[in-house]
Structure 1
Amino acid sequence: MKTQIIESMTSNTNREKTAAAYIRVSTETQKEKGFSPENQRSLAEQYAEKKGWILDDNMIFEEAKPASTILGKQFSEENLIENMYNRPELQKLLQLAGYKRFKYLIVYTRDRLSRSVAETNALDIFFKNFKIDIHYTKDGENLNFKDDKMNRFMHIVLSSLAEFEANTISMRVKAGNKSCVTKGYWPGGREPYGYIRKPIDEDDSKRNHFTLEISNFESNVVKTIFEYYINEGLGYKRIADKMNKEYGPYWTKNKIESIIKNQTYTGHIAWDRRGGRRTHNKHENPILSNLLKDATIINEDQWNKCVELREQRSKLRDPHYYTTPFILKGKLICAKCNSIMKCKNYGKAKGSVYRCCIKSSNGRSELIIKKELVENLFIETLNKILNFKNLDNLFETYYNEFNNKHNKAKTFLKCINDKINEIQNYKTKIQSLIKDETDSDIKEILRSEKAILSNLYEKYQQKKSKLENSLKKQPFSKETFIESLSNFPKNFNKLERLDKRLFIDNYIDKIIVNKINKQLSMNIIVKPYKFI
């Protein structure tokens, strides 16, 4: 790419008279307000002609991209070009600057280059290193103070205002979208697969006056996807493969994942699940509308089951964990070497086995057990444990674990309460400053800071509410505990394979197996605290 750029610019040899221009718009509204590419290009050409510079068409870089940044990412001249991956035309411009192909850069305003102070400073350093001067075509953007320090100060102030404006716009858009969702309106953007947008009023075409209506065919497809995930235990990729065979080459792993993770299918419009382009984090608690019965495709129980499966699979990072025919996979421990036994299918001739990963001098595994043999022994041993009358030690383990978690939750709750009080004090002080302040710009900054604190306050309150609810739980009585252990797997053999895997994953910590003189022995270690 670098070679192509250099070769395309060989006609410009007089660097001292050569200029480049950068043009950017991010929304249709900006075009309507006079920021159109045509307008920016015309002003850049007029500016270059007035200065007597050479501005060829191949030195004008134009793109329609947002000047978004990744929060918390540090910018420097070393990695600046890589940071601009979302703005390819600016990347080309920066590469040409590195080859010293031009002397002057013409931009309409500062915020066309960047809306981030950190990014703006990095760009300034980058261009200064290659002795490139930045010129702005809009009146008042060029600073001509005699004192360089004053120029620098005003440049930082103007850059800060550009960043502040971007953040303010973002907050207003989020507030508007949140208001739409709470009213049961679709906040904008493409509706999820399975729905069509329906105007609240037939004559109303406003963006925030749409709700969601179920598409009969697509909603049935969505139900099928959830059934594959919940009932058959298939992963995203395997569901996509199956859907492509049934409905054509449309489905991908990402498409399936986006459906499985979208709470909107429960009838509650879910917004702010993924953050935005400036905050690329996924939110655990999206904004939810009230229940829209006409937009419900799956019920709450199905959704909760999906959440549980996703959490378990994300920890295990094994898409076949629940669909494997080896129900003891990952739990069976060799007593000789204390390692997890591997699963191996040798085909019809030798069948399936669990084998130790440690090999002896002759190259064979220390312990190899047929799958059916060890799984039958597990079921027999499990029934003995659960039907055994004296479960004092098991109950004691459960009770101690419950108390440990309870105490940790109390400590964490105290920390959260301290944080909530601290934020509340800050909010009170800021409110007092807003009341006394006369400067409108400073007032706007203070209001913005207050809004950020309010958002943080709300998140801590949500965490506090969750902890308080968990602290209300009481440990099982000994009788209830024994009854729970005894009743759940009474018909273990009749359970579906997925349910067997779920039971083992939730309640069994490990299974230690040994073979002495062809006689198998087994010790099952349960995780009773999972009953909380």
Structure 2
Amino acid sequence: MAKAVGYSRVSTGKQLDGFSISTQHDMIQDFCKSKGLTLSKIYDEGAGSAKSIENRDVFKEMIYDVIENNKNQKVYVVLAKLDRFSRNTVDGIHVADLLKSHGHCLVSIVDGFDSDNPYAKTLLINKFAQSEQERENIVLNVRNGMKKRAQQGLFNGGKVFGYNSTLSKELEVNKEQAKVVQFIFDRYTNDDWGYKKIAHFLNTQYTEAKAQREWDVISIKTIVTNPIYAGFIRWGEKNDERKIYIGKHQAIISNAQWEKAKQIFEAKSYQPIKIHKGSYFLSGLLRCPDCGSSMVQHKSKGGKYLYYQCSKNKTKGLCKSNLVNKEKAEAKVLNELSSKLQSPDYENLLSEKIKQQIKLEQIPVKKQYSMIEQEERELQNKIDELFDLFTSHTIPKETLQDQVSRYENMKNELKTRKENIEAKLHLSSSQNTTFIVQQVLNNFESFFYSLGDTEKKGLLREIISDIQIEEVDTGGKRKKRQISEIHYYFDENILMEIAS
């Protein structure tokens, strides 16, 4: 008797698409029995999407076993239905051709498909192409459906501070949160408070607001620039076709207040011509003497005086500004580095120490990156499963739109996190370490100032872990802040021994 293997898969763990694992197994067993085939094994993939074969380990195992372990025997690969095999035209045809080139046959029970048929490839192309086109149409229909909802003034789902979203995606005002939203708009439009001042007040004095979340500049800006609070629905990409439609939900602020907020935002969004050029390459390395947070750029009104300022003060209005003179701080760091990196004895040790530190630092970062990639794959699988369920008429279009919209928003957040990690890994890649070490030991300051802003920051982060600031009493009303210690990624005592 001829040999056969089976393959089974469902769209989700809930087996909602009409072809449960047990049903497929029964169909495969009955088919092989009726055709006189000896069924040696059924490869069960369990729950997952057939969009691609990348994450389908059981499928890949089956193809390998059939081809490698049956070089002198024809094997029939039996499926309950072709869409169990693939929903991707290129993948499906490639694997079917691969099986046939090694003398094996692909069979689909429901579709009446047999790759031994001379017209099988044409049928296969049509089937897979139809399935793939169906998916693309669904994606387009989902987006058009969401756009249509927005045009009708309906919410497309997600979380919005100030509102509760019902199961039917209707917005209901959250009375406690709405009070905070109104407070933010009142301070922004009536009292000319900036983002930081509002965030500081919410975090320190507005007890109810603090209990709901921690506020910063970004969260305040997000609220005062969102037309949803004035009763509108915003739809479309930011730089493409973003439009505003009259919503059917209850507004939290008046249209007049929204128009005033827009005018203030547009006026403050004007970017003046820079009076002073230059990067703040110590941003993130300097540590606030009070709270230990990183310090970031700051300039006085008009840009005449440049400083580093506590980031917690700048974004949330917490801590003190603790201004540090930019020019003096940068000069001290570069002078100290230049003097330390003159001896040729430093090269090997410095290079090795930097590489070791980078390697240690990259371990948790890479692990975090892998976890995000796994989350992305799981989200994509969920989206693929939804499409499989929709095409098998198991779930309605409205459910598909709602869930896909939510998952796509989550994917965008993950993408942003990945990009930030990729930038960090790139800056600290060991591939650049040798080049960096060779350059800095020759003429550090000349080399440093020849770099662009991003490269300057990246270079210092290869060598320096952090820079501590101390407050010095000068006898007057104002206290002076200056660099007290620079911590490196190499052991200072060892370097001093080598230098001596």
TM-score range, shorter chain: 0.3 to 0.5
Structure scoring higher RCO (CA < 8 A, sep ≥ 6) equals 2
What is the TM-score when the length of structure 1 is the normalising length? 0.39
